[in-house]
Amino acid sequence: MIIAERKPVNEIVEMVKDAKRVLVLGCRGCVSVCSAGGEREVELLSSLIRLGKQKQGQKAEVIGATLVRQCDKEYVDEIDQWQGRYDAIVSMACGVGVNFIANLRPNDQVFPAVNTTSFGGSAEQGVWSEQCAGCGDCVLHLTGGLCPVARCAKSLMNGPCGGSVEGRCEIHQEVPCIWQFIHERLNRFERRQDLERVAPIRDWRSAGHGGPRKTVRDDLTV
């Protein structure tokens, strides 16, 4: 899922300083699962914005609502039901949601309530860790299912580097050396030779270095 975390409240209050009516809009997708922008977080942020405004001696009307997703036009169109009742939208979705609202609603001001941090999973309750960099050219079939792009601090394609000590990364003791894990896993399956293959220099255009990426499925377009 896409992992996000709420921005500091003061930053958000500053964004909407000129708005008397604010629509705080959550998303039931990824940000709901990682507890950054679902219904519960909308309730809390609405309260915090009201408190922030109260502290500045201002009154604000804050509506809290949550869409099924903010990355599909049909769901973003549901914002029509609050038309005329807000001066600004604070989106608690990932950056995709904020962009979609900006794309689809040229006359609405939209502000981000979260920082979109990574693609990851829940390592344990309350902890999320990055697992994928979305680089557009997966090498997981060669690396035992473990991603060196996202999980090696240097995104090495031929690790480990000289800084790996007893399976730990040199940037921090808490960070496992993913290349150590990759070697151990491939050894377990007797597939060390996968790493001996000479690979061409990586083409990073698929990772966004070639401009914004777009996926088109002819079988689905209408």
- Binding residues for other proteins, rule: CB under 8 A, are 8-10, 13, 40, 43-44, 47-48, 50-52, 54-55, 57
User: Two tokens at 183?
Assistant: 């070697």
**Closer to other proteins at the Cβ: 45 or 101?**
45
- Cis before residue 160, ω within 30 degrees of 0? yes
CB of 56 to other proteins, least distance (A): 8
Q: Please check whether residue 15 is in contact with residue 52, taking contact to mean a CB–CB distance below 8 angstroms.
A: no
Nearer Cβ to other proteins (10/103): 10
Closest approach, Cβ 145 to other proteins, in A, equals: 34
CA atoms of 178 and 168, how far apart (whole Å) = 8
The angle subtended at Cα 99 by Cα 97 and Cα 105, nearest 5°, is 100
Residues 117, 132: contact at Cβ < 8 Å?
no
Select 46 or 116, whichever has its Cβ closest to other proteins: 46
Residue type, 77: D
Indicate the residue among 66 and 180 with the shorter CB distance to other proteins: 66
CB of 11 to other proteins, least distance (A): 9
Write down the least CB distance from residue 40 to other proteins, Å.
8
Query: Strand 114-124's sheet: what is its strand order?
Result: 2-6, 114-124, 127-132
**Residue number with CB closer to other proteins (40 or 205):** 40
N- to C-terminal Cα separation, the chain: 28
Q: How far is the CB of 202 from other proteins (least distance, A)?
A: 41
Sign for the CA dihedral angle at 166, 167, 169, 173 comes to: negative
